Amino acid sequence: MGRDWVAWHEAYEDDDHPLRDRLAAVVELVGEAVAGARDGPVRLASLCAGDGRDVATALVDHPRRADVTARLVELDPALADAARRGLAAAGVAGTVVTGDAGDSAALADIVPVDVLLLCGVFGNVSDADVERTIAAVPSLCRAGATVIWTRHRRPPDLTPAIRRWFDAAGCRRIALRTGGDVGVRAWTVGAELVGVPTSDFQPAPLFRFREDLR
Ligand X SMILES: C[S@@+](CC[C@H](N)C(=O)[O-])C[C@H]1O[C@@H](n2cnc3c(N)ncnc32)[C@H](O)[C@@H]1O
Using rule CB under 6 A, residue 75 touches ligand X: yes
Cα separation, 11 vs 21, whole angstroms: 11
> What amino acid is encoded at 193 in this protein?
L
Q: What is the dihedral sign for C-alpha 119, 89, 29, 188?
A: negative
* C-alpha torsion 24→131→5→55, nearest 10: 40
- Cβ atoms 147, 194 nearer than 8 A: yes
In the complex, minimum distance from the CB of residue 196 to ligand X, in angstroms, rounded to a whole number:
28
Using rule CB under 6 A, residue 102 touches ligand X: yes
Using rule CB under 6 A, residue 129 touches ligand X: no
Residue 81 or 167: which CB sits closer to ligand X? 81
**Among 83, 113, 115, 119, contact with ligand X (rule: CB under 6 A):** 119
Q: Within 10 Å of residue 149's Cβ, how many Cβ atoms? A: 26
Residue 2 or 40: which CB sits closer to ligand X? 2
SS3 130: helix
Point out which span in 29-37, 56-64, 100-108, 180-188 binds ligand X (CB under 6 A): 100-108
Using rule CB under 6 A, residue 48 touches ligand X: yes
**Among 74, 114, 131, 192, contact with ligand X (rule: CB under 6 A):** 74
In this structure, what DSSP letter does residue 180 have?
Answer: -
Residues that bind ligand X (CB under 6 A): 5, 8, 48-50, 54, 73-76, 79, 100-102, 119-120, 209
